Structure 1
């Protein structure tokens, strides 16, 4: 394991503002074997790129080019979840350019995140900018989701769905359009999901249904369950799962899409 080298840059949101990209790479100057960009949680209204910096530091020390990205938040530049998704797509594009400077191409890159950020990464990876009917551009070859939200939104009670629609700034009846299980089809990128069995935001049963749907469609989807863990279990010092999450994620990235 090597030290980590840190730097920062930015990418441009659709409204012209500059949003942060925190870069973490092997500190000994060796070329990274793979790369991942991650997006923080916070229900689309809170959080920052700093939130997943500890994860990126540890992954970089394993030989991975890891980037933590910010995006516009609701009430702070984003009008609806659609603005957040647009930012994620732009961040992934810039990540690809930065990775190319380090000798990495799309087949060796992943996206991911925590909670709402994981949801954004999943939607962006599984759908195309002009709608789900067309094939997504191959910006990343895999997704790593830490306690993702919005996996099976159709399973929520109607009053919960209406509340969420209001919270994320979309019209009534549109919540199901953002349920990632809806976009499962052959050819989805390989996925690794970390989820607690007592997650109070996204019940484990919905995540299991998503995993099963992915597998039935011929896709690779590994669900790593953490017994009795609640939402946000993967942060340092919260439930002692941080090291295991990093270890499993690094093995997945290096073994599944690591450059040869």
Structure 2
């Protein structure tokens, strides 16, 4: 919780103005790459003086109306690497999905706030939908995914999408869902507009959330509260908790005896089992 409070304190201040982080908090943050090996890269938006890139991994075989998953990296809206979800993207591409990794503006690269990041995420999703036919994507079978701040962006994008354009599924990893509670009084008006805890649930698609039980950055209680509200509203929302795990646990490739595999492998397998019936029903299981 302390980490989220700090991020909000730095990023959600004063009338939506852009804040910079002083001193060494942003030292050594590299630029995002313009291209990635194995992907076709496009500019989906130009903002704050730079091109925002989206990287597309196509599955093997003839191009058809395939399902797709768009991933947003995490990093507290301050930092983050476009390659964070590359392993998951490549795994889903091997299953016949078109997978995409989207860049967005963050404080340490662009001097921007989470408000700008949410605008970028919406623009990336709009670009995907606009180019679905050219990319061989079935626009009715698109999932959004992300971790931490990226999970927040995927969730807000889905919840604010028009009913006819909502994604088919959400796959989220320790997403920030309540931005209001940890915000100071003068930040709350801006947090309310992008906090999933307060947004209408009508556009929420079937949602799977993976979360560490010991996450000190985004407490799992906040996610369970969100899912309970969604379930009460008739939406499908499931939280899978991982005992003893903290923030970002799904990047862990070490064997966990409790689950009999690695956190990365377990969350990936569960993601595939959740996504396939919704997005890729023709895939043998």
**What CA deviation, in whole Å up to 9, does each residue of 1:57-90 have, x standing for no partner?**
1111121111111101114335322211111111
Partner of 1:146: 173
How far has the Cα of 1:155 moved from its partner?
4.0
- Look up the SS of the partner of 2:144 in the other structure: strand
Equivalent-residue separation in structure 1 for 2:62 and 2:249 (angstroms) = 32
**Structure-2 change in CA distance of 1:182 and 1:222 (3 Å):** same
Shifted more, 4-13 versus 201-210: the winner is 4-13
Shift of 1:218: 0.5
1:11 matched to 2:63? The reply is no
User: Gaps spanning 5+ residues in structure 1: where?
Assistant: 129-134
Alignment partner of 1:178 is 2:204: no
Moved more, 37-46 or 178-187: 178-187
1:61 match: 94
- Measure, in 1, the Cα distance between the counterparts of 2:60 and 2:249: 28
Specify the alignment match of 1:131 in structure 2: none
> Alignment length, in residue pairs?
240
Q: 1:154 to 1:19 in 2, by over 3 A?
A: closer
Q: CA 1:225–1:33 in structure 2 vs 1: closer, same or farther (change >3 Å)?
A: farther
Residues 1:120 and 2:153 are matched in the alignment? yes
- The aligned counterpart of 1:188 is 204
TM-score by length of 2: 0.75
Instruction: Specify whether residues 235 and 209 from structure 1 end up closer, same or farther in structure 2 by C-alpha distance, changes over 3 A only.
Output: same
Shift of 1:30: 5.8
Flag structure 2 segments of 5+ consecutive residues without an equivalent: 1-36, 257-261
Matched, 1:206 2:222: yes
Whether the aligned pair in 2 keeps the contact of 1:10 and 1:19 (CA below 8 Å) is yes
Counterpart of 1:249 in structure 2 is 271
CA separation of 1:189/1:172 partners in 2, compared to 1, >3 Å: closer, same or farther? closer
Residue 231 of structure 2 corresponds to residue 215 of structure 1: yes
